Amino acid sequence: MGEHGDIVFIGTVESAGETSILRIYPEFCPALLGLERYSHLIVLYWFHLRDNPEHRKTLQVTPPRHEGAPLTGVFACRSPSRPNPIGMTVVKIEEMDGCRIVVSGLDALEGSPIVDLKTYNPDSDSLPDAEVPDYMRHHGSQGHPA
């Protein structure tokens, strides 16, 4: 079914909390060159606790953190249950030390494998005219999977 490719994890969430630590594997540390010039980062990570046949077959959910949300396809929400359990979050870089990045705002769990890092650019990554359903506008839903 469909095309297949290999995903190579580049690191792991070493600790998660108000501030979190991203540990990048040594062979990928050279790819961090220049990252210290940015304030924010997009982290793509693997929902490792949802990587099983049951959750990969889930195609529709009712977003639990959004009161009044209707049954929704997983491509129309941020559910961690999906065919490819990839999560995405924007974080603030607090500190960098070698292969270790201290961030705030991470919504991944400790032990989550990191798929990729991309720099956040407010000119292209922030779209003030973007539209979302009304139920997504309640109580700061940005950054929380549902």
Q: Is residue 49 part of a domain?
A: yes
Q: Is residue 4 part of a domain?
A: no
Q: Over 90: is that where the pLDDT of 136 sits?
A: no
Q: Is residue 41 part of a domain?
A: yes
Q: Is residue 30 part of a domain?
A: yes
What are the residues facing 88 on neighbouring strands? 44
Query: Which stretch of DSSP H or E encloses residue 113?
Result: strand 113-119
Reported as a single tens digit per residue, the pLDDT across 14-37 is 999 999 999 999 999 999 999 999
Residue 94: exposed, middle, or buried by beta-carbon count in 10 A (0-12, 13-18, 19+)? middle
> Which residue, among 67, 116, 62, has the nearest Cα to 89 in the 3D structure?
116
Task: State which residues form the domain around 33.
Answer: 11-121+130-137
Q: Over 50: is that where the pLDDT of 109 sits?
A: yes
Q: How far is CA 53 from CA 49, 83, 126, in A?
A: 11, 9, 34
Q: Is residue 95 part of a domain?
A: yes
Q: Residue 70: its pLDDT value, please?
A: 92
Q: How far is CA 105 from CA 2, 93, 108, 128, 145, in A?
A: 34, 9, 9, 20, 13
Q: Give pTM, 2 decimals.
A: 0.86
Region of poorest pLDDT, from 1-5, 42-46, 81-85, 100-104: 1-5
Q: Is residue 113 part of a domain?
A: yes
Number of domains in the chain: 1
Q: Residue 94: its pLDDT value, please?
A: 98
What's the CATH code of the domain at 48?
Answer: 2.40.30.70
